[in-house]
Amino acid sequence: MIEIRGLTKSFHKHKVLDHIDLTIQKGDVVAVIGSSGAGKSTLLRSINLLEVPDEGTIKIDELTVDITRRSKADVLELRKSTAMVFQQFNLFRQKTALENVMEGLIVVKKIPKEQACQIAAGQLARVGLSDKVHYYPKQLSGGQQQRVAIARALAMQPKILLFDEPTSALDPELVGEVLDTIKKAAEEGNTMLLVSHEMNFVRKVATRVLFLDQGVIVEDGTPNEVFSKPKSERTKQFLANYYRDQEPEFAI
Ligand SMILES: Nc1ncnc2c1ncn2[C@@H]1O[C@H](COP(=O)(O)OP(=O)(O)OP(=O)(O)O)[C@@H](O)[C@H]1O
Ligand SMILES: [Mg+2]
């Protein structure tokens, strides 16, 4: 279980996260939606301390980290408990798909090379890339690169997977294969926190949806509750704008 309490972050007096409280149960697929600048990326980045919050506590199973009193060991443990998939894939360019997936297993988890290789090959097979294990990122499509990034995250067996707009850098025809990969990982019981603008996907795959507005969670419910019966005006407005901008066949 993941418990976040009082998570707060400001950039130059601008409060980007305002005392966020959030509990995520094992197996939950929590989608975070909200306007640009709402604090979605900052929330994800604060959970693995890529961004250091000003205050708050983050509890992941038996590990409790009070931000203001964190030790180096806490930070390392927190990073080991999480894995992030970025919009821009962030693969090592000079490493093959297989080596990209092996890296964290060897360096962070201290798994022997041969075993890491086996695990990595297995994960790449699960995301449908068995035939591309020895390819370098530049030899792969954006969708394939993102699937390598997902395989790399899954290989670490994190307590929570963090996805920050994993499909928004992709050409439209490549979005589907990445969403299918995320859906499969969700169905396999992985706990996830996902920032996405793919509302149809969020509706189908998320077990819970949060609407973040100016650093505050103003809506928290099932996809049906949030999309069909939003409570706050800001959520209603956001969804109305979103669907107005969609192609007519996707509009609700
Ligand atoms: N490193 C930083 N330094 C200063 N301000 C920052 C920094 N990172 C984020 N911000 C500011 O914090 C606010 C929230 O940013 P964040 O990236 O979390 O928004 P977001 O909801 O992910 O937006 P988007 O949908 O555009 O990705 C923005 O106003 C942004 O300018
Ligand atoms: Mg963002």
DSSP 101-133: HHHHHHHTS---HHHHHHHHHHHHHHTT-GGGT
Give the ligand whose atoms come closest to the C-alpha of residue 45: 1
- pTM of the shown model: 0.94
Which two structure tokens, joined as six digits, stand for 133?
């294990």
User: Does 168 sit in the ligand 1 pocket, CB within 6 Å?
Assistant: no
pLDDT score recorded for residue 184: 95
User: Does 13 sit in the ligand 1 pocket, CB within 6 Å?
Assistant: no
pLDDT score recorded for residue 244: 86
Q: How far is the CA of 191 from the centre of ligand 2 (A)?
A: 20
d(CA 232, CA 219): 7
User: Does 16 sit in the ligand 1 pocket, CB within 6 Å?
Assistant: yes
Residue ID of nearest Cα to ligand 1 atom 8: 42
Which amino acid belongs to residue 166? P
Q: Quick count: other Cβ atoms within 10 Å of Cβ 71?
A: 9
User: Does 38 sit in the ligand 1 pocket, CB within 6 Å?
Assistant: yes
User: Does 17 sit in the ligand 1 pocket, CB within 6 Å?
Assistant: no
Shortest CA distance to 202 belongs to which of 148, 233, 243?
243
Return the ∠ at Cα 244 (arms to 242 and 246), rounded to 5°. Answer: 75
Q: How far is the CA of 131 from the centre of ligand 2 (A)?
A: 32
User: Three-state SS across 48-72?
Assistant: CCCCCCCEEEEEECCEEEEHHHCCH
Mode of pairing for the β-strands spanning 192-195 and 29-33: parallel
**129-149 pLDDT, tens per residue?**
999 999 999 999 999 999 999
Mode of pairing for the β-strands spanning 192-195 and 208-213: unpaired
Distance of CA 174 to the CA centre of its chain: 18
> Stretch 46-74: mean pLDDT, rounded?
95
pLDDT score recorded for residue 110: 94
pLDDT score recorded for residue 119: 98
**23-39 pLDDT, tens per residue?**
999 999 999 999 999 99
Reported in sequence order, the residue ranges of the chain that DSSP labels E, i.e. its strands, are 2-11, 14-24, 29-33, 55-60, 63-66, 82-85, 160-164, 192-195, 208-213, 216-221
